[in-house]
Amino acid sequence: MSVDTNTSIDASAAPVPSADGASAIKAPSSVGEYMAAGQQLDEPVTVTAGVEATPVVPDAPRSDVDRLEPEPVGPLKLECGIEIEIVPLKLRETMKLLKIVTRGAGGALEAMIGQLDMEDPAVFAQTLGALILLSIPEAEDEAVDFIQSMVLPANFANLEPQVQIEKLNELAQELLNPELDDVVTIVERIVRRESEDIRNLGKRITTAFQMSRRVGVLPANS
């Protein structure tokens, strides 16, 4: 079933400030939030299978200030010429990312997670990127939902309200069925930015599980 690319997002229902600023509403945190507020999409979105991962080098760990007030990353240019920025990964976006992996990897998930090297940042980033990209063919809807939740038009915060609406509509149309190259580019950039935080979180969770087994809260074979 094809996606109707002529469908427009209802700007009146989306959480974007009005052009005159009279009744300002909090701007969306991503194009996905804007789309969800405007309308629900009934058509499935397809991402072509057969994605190959390329080496990913993680960004340096962020400072405490950057963690408290993270800035978007960008701009990145999509195949169609639209420029976007990557927003910070938070709780909801992390859960969307986990849905890709848990659904897409299937029975191979345990083996693939076992290959994540918590001690080597570069190896961890490359393996995480491969895990996400190789999971997409079996989790295409989850992948598109995740990507939509992670992007905004470039320099979004500094645009005039009416221009925000125009740029959001343009980007929303493109991300109904994104180009495969764009999917790979966006995922790689997210992994570069977030892999160190994910790796450190994984180490903390692993330590917590090991401690729980030692004190008998969890069975030894869990």
Q: What are the tens digits of pLDDT across the range 136-175?
A: 999 999 999 999 999 999 999 999 999 999 999 999 999 9
Residues in the chain where the model's pLDDT stays below 70: 1-26, 38-72, 105-115, 205-222
Measure the CA–CA gap between 24 and 5, rounded to whole angstroms: 29
pLDDT score for 12: 46
pLDDT of 81: 95
Evaluate whether 75 touches 84 at the Cβ level (below 8 Å): yes
- Write down the pLDDT at residue 36: 80
pLDDT at 58: 63
What amino acid is encoded at 4 in this protein? D
Size of the chain, expressed as the number of residues it contains: 222
What pLDDT was estimated at residue 96? Answer: 92
Q: What does the pLDDT read at residue 50? A: 42
Least Cα distance to 176 among 83, 43, 25 occurs for 43
Q: How far apart are CA 117 and CA 123, in angstroms?
A: 6
Model pLDDT, residue 160: 94
Any idea where the domains of the chain sit in the sequence? 14-57+72-214
pTM: 0.68
C-alpha to C-alpha distance for 79 and 69, rounded to whole angstroms: 30
